[in-house]
Structure 1
């Protein structure tokens, strides 16, 4: 689960650069949530865990 952050080293344009990098990755099985959306990442992790059970 990828969570881009709005702070970081260099020019990240408020999290837009990391978000676009994560969305452009071609790896399967990666979930990307919005910038600084830790709650959404936790909800996605919970949904994945419920599928496993």
Structure 2
């Protein structure tokens, strides 16, 4: 019984960590996009 409970909590922890990593990756990607997008947009506007 105790083993099953521990496994379940471990799985939950792993899911939480993976979701946190996913959220962090999205956040970082968005931050990079927002830092790069303005320059890219202005340069593309200048070429047009």
Same fold (TM over 0.5): no
Name which structure has the greater RCO, CA cutoff 8 Å, separation 6+: 1
TM-score bracket for this pair, using the shorter chain length: 0.3 to 0.5
Higher radius of gyration, 1 or 2 = 2
TM-score by length of 1: 0.33
More helix per residue: 1 or 2?
A: 2
